[in-house]
Structure 1
Amino acid sequence: MSDNRTWRARLIATSAPAAVIWIRVYVGVVFLTEGILKFTRPDTLGAGRFDKAGIPAPGFFAPVDGVFEIVCGALILAGLVTRLAVVPMIVDMVGALLITKLPIVWGDAPLFARESGFGDFLHEARLDFAQLCGSVFLLLVGAGSWSVDARLTATARSAASH
């Protein structure tokens, strides 16, 4: 590649196969849906859940998290700036695991009062782990050939060769 390759070009570059679309659809739909649910079910999945988990300023952080999940989920689905879109979602999943799921291990999880121990932690954290792994995968390989990122990369290459 030439020395003129910008950070933006590296951000959207992808040589991953078209099959990556399956990971993008799964990860994107789950984030998009969860973000919407933070607004449509605020008592159980939005500010109420954040409050019960002990997250400070739940009325602020739940909607902010919801907006990030909606925007990033839509970007991941489209395959547009995918690597950038998954970074806040990785932070989101690490936070969810540490704040709401890890306390299950020692039986001190307000959201999961009846669960305790490592087995219950693994059970309750399975979606968070799947989302985290899918997001890290997309960070590493990019959006794949069936994405807006791939089209933008091809357009940039074509313009650079002329």
Structure 2
Amino acid sequence: MGTSAPGAVVLIRLYVGAIFLSEGVLKFLRPDQLGTGRFDKAGIPAPGFLAPLDGLLEIVCGVLILAGLLTRLAAAAMIVNMLGALLITKLPILWGNAPLFDGKSGWRDFAHESRTDLAQLCGSLFLLLVGAGACSLDARLARAGSAVPSETAVPQG
């Protein structure tokens, strides 16, 4: 599916893709704080498998979003990722039993701690809906595909 979104969508792609890429890399560089250790503390099963998998997914999808390649697919994967992060790590703040955020509870603490996740979710939803924009590999591939003559075209002349 192509995109008719303006080239300015590149700004959304830059912030969404860069954050996913950097967070994915940090899961490997700081496993105790942001990778396996964080997943274990949050009560996520099989943290030794799921944290690196999540990091790899964030890296791959971040790069795809930055490049504007398979943008809607990458955005869909990151929507699932962000919904999981919000449900597992941030939603428990509302009732005060969030293992990652001792002593924090209620709406204000939830809004504060989930601000980046919510921004990433909204940015990913936006990219899913509008596509990568005119300044993207998706758009370039769509233009190249439409420039190829159809096999069923009747020659003029």
TM-score, length of structure 1 as denominator length: 0.91
TM-score (norm 2): 0.94
- Kindly indicate whether residue 81 of structure 2 is the aligned counterpart of residue 92 of structure 1: yes
Say whether residues 1:16 and 2:16 are aligned partners.
no
Q: Note the C-alpha offset of 1:88.
A: 1.1
- Aligned with residue 23 of structure 2, among 34, 39, 45: 34
**Is 1:152 aligned to 2:133, yes or no?**
no
- String of CA shifts for 1:71-115, please: whole Å, max 9, x gaps: 000000000010011111000000000000000000000100121
Report runs of 4+ in structure 1 exceeding 3 Å deviation.
Answer: none
- Percent identity over paired residues: 68
RMSD: 0.9
d(CA) in 1 for partners of 2:7, 2:94: 39
Q: Does 1:106 align with 2:60?
A: no
C-alpha offsets along residues 23-60 of structure 1, whole Å, 9 cap, x if unaligned? 00000000000000000000000000000000000000
SS of 1:111 mapped into structure 2 = coil
> What amino acid is aligned across from residue 27 of structure 2 in structure 1?
K
SS at match of 2:148: helix
Greater Rg over alpha carbons, structure: 2
Aligned residue number for residue 64 of structure 2: 75
The one of 83, 94, 105 aligned to 1:116: 105
The whole-number CA distance in structure 1 between the counterparts of 2:113 and 2:28 is 22
Q: Does structure 1 residue 60 correspond to structure 2 residue 49?
A: yes
Question: Following the alignment from structure 2 to structure 1, what is the Cα–Cα distance between the partners of residues 86 and 145?
Answer: 39
TM superposition shift of 1:142: 0.2
Unmatched runs of 5 consecutive residues or more in structure 1? 1-9
